[in-house]
Each structure stands twice: as C-alpha cells, then as structure tokens.
Structure 1
Amino acid sequence: MKKKERHQLLRQLVQQETIRKQEDFVAILQDRGIEVTQATISRDIKELQLIKVPAKGGGYQYNLPPEMNYNISKKLGRLLKDAFVSIDTQKEFVLIKTLPGNAFALGTLIETAKYQEVFGCISGDDTVLVICRDEDSSNRFQRRIISFI
C-alpha cells in the first residue's frame, strides 16, 4: 500500500474507530491484510499531525487536528504569505521555494486541495516540486499560487 493511500485510510480510521495507541493502528491494518510496522505508523501519525483527545470511556484516542477542518484555501494563502520565496515553471513542472521548514506543509496542503492541474508533489525542507498534468496546467497552477500571495 502506498503512503498516500495509507494516510487516507488512517484518516478514515480515526474518524470511525476508537484508536488509543499506535499498536491499534497496526492491528487494524494487519486485520485488513496490510503489513505495516509500528515505526511506519509513528511516522504517519507525525506527518498527519494526529492528536490525542479525551475518549468517551476515559483515557485518550487519536483524532485529526482541528485545523484539518478549516478551509484549505485559507491555510494555503496564510502559509504562502508567510513562507513564499519564489515560483518558477518548466514544462509540466512548478517549483515553489519557501522559507526553510515550510515546504512539506505546503506540499501537503496542495495535495489535500486536489487541484485538477496537479498530478502530484514532492516536498523537501524548502522546496516543493509540483508535477502538473501538462504545460497549460502548470501555467494555470502557477497563476493560482501567485493569486494567494
């Protein structure tokens, strides 16, 4: 199972099930025939920014962070206003430079927004490479990003 698919499944699980510890994720996924380690789940929890909230029967359970419910466009705009450095295109590629430490969040927001122009993203510490469907899509996407700034 690819990371993106696993992240989507983990988001669903925390909304549908009471998951109190990382081992619960591992057990549920293994019951579904998906082999995963506790270390992988630990990284996924960090990347998804899952939080622990009080559970009904006492103790705590994993949940999505409250900000996941906010408008993605507003979050994108805020992040771009705070961390944008530059943007450039080459054919179907859009390269966005940010202040250090911001590119991963930007790439995640772009993928979460599910823009039609975007095929996928690769994020580093201060750079997001957005792979668009074609050259026209990359130009439209660049204009979209600039409109946030």
Structure 2
Amino acid sequence: MKQKRQAKILEIISQEAIETQEQLIKALSAAGFPTTQSTVSRDIKELGLGKSPSGGRLIYTQIRDDKGHSLTDRMVRTLRNAILDIDYSANFIILKTFEGGAHAAAAALDKLEYPEIMGTLAGDNT
C-alpha cells in the first residue's frame, strides 16, 4: 500500500501544482488513497520532495531522482531563484528571499550537504 501511495504522490505532483499537504491529502483521497497528514509528511520526506518556485508559487517537486541522488544543479538553481540578498552577523549568514522562499532555499542548502553548514533555520523570507 505504501509503495502504491507514494507512486500516486509522484504522479499527482507531476500533473498538478500542489502547494500544501492538505491539497495533496485531498488529491490522494480522490484517487482512492485516503490518508493522514502525518503519513503524507513521512512520505514527502522519504520521497525527497521539497518546494520549488513555479509561476510565483511554491509547489511540491521531487528534489532528488528515483535513485536518491542529490540534484545539485536543481538545488543551485533554486537558491539562485530564491535569494534576493545576503548579509551576515557574527557567525550567521542571513539569506533574504522572496516571500515564502526561505523554506525552499533552506531545503536546497540542506540537500547540498556542505560540511561547513551545520544547519538552516527558515522563516518566511529569511
């Protein structure tokens, strides 16, 4: 059941602009896969999904290929599209993004797995 549900998730996000887990849950339910938010959240993590800009919105996309490889070019492109300004304070680097772009930028940095970056913290636009 899990494999079929996850395959359906990939199919749905490839055909529809899904912005929220709630939209994904409704689409899964309509396709005959009723599920909970916690299950969808785990599936999103296991499938390597993240949000990428598309038409002024952030939609779920697969941010690694079906073999689990990091899509470095895609991550760099996401960062280039999201970051508006860079600043620093003491030991922190502050990346200013468009409204709603901080999570995509933070996810991209996390996926790039730079050893110098201990972690990311995202708000709405920083």
- How does the TM-score come out when normalised to structure 2? 0.50
- How does the TM-score come out when normalised to structure 1? 0.44
Percent identity at matched positions? 22
The answer to whether the Cα contact below 8 Å between 1:72 and 1:109 also exists between their aligned partners in 2 is no
In structure 2, list runs of 5 or more residues that go unmatched: 7-35, 51-60
The whole-number CA distance in structure 1 between the counterparts of 2:102 and 2:64 is 17
- Give 1:44 deviation, angstroms: 3.8
1:92 equivalent in structure 2: 91
Closer, same or farther: CA 124–21 of 1 in aligned 2, 3 Å: same
What one-letter code is carried by the residue in structure 1 that aligns with 2:38? T
In structure 1, list runs of 5 or more residues that go unmatched: 1-16, 23-37, 51-63, 128-149
The whole-number CA distance in structure 1 between the counterparts of 2:71 and 2:87 is 22
What's the C-alpha RMSD, in Å, of the aligned pairs? Answer: 3.2
- The alignment covers a number of residue pairs equal to 83
What one-letter code is carried by the residue in structure 1 that aligns with 2:64? M
The answer to whether the Cα contact below 8 Å between 2:102 and 2:122 also exists between their aligned partners in 1 is yes
Closer, same or farther: CA 74–18 of 1 in aligned 2, 3 Å: same
What one-letter code is carried by the residue in structure 1 that aligns with 2:37? A
Corresponding position: 1:68 with 2:37:
no
The whole-number CA distance in structure 1 between the counterparts of 2:49 and 2:72 is 19
Closer, same or farther: CA 39–72 of 1 in aligned 2, 3 Å: same
Greater Cα radius of gyration, structure 1 or 2: 1
The answer to whether the Cα contact below 8 Å between 2:49 and 2:64 also exists between their aligned partners in 1 is no
What one-letter code is carried by the residue in structure 2 that aligns with 1:96? L
The whole-number CA distance in structure 2 between the counterparts of 1:71 and 1:46 is 15
Q: Greater helix share, 1 or 2?
A: 1
Closer, same or farther: CA 118–105 of 1 in aligned 2, 3 Å: same
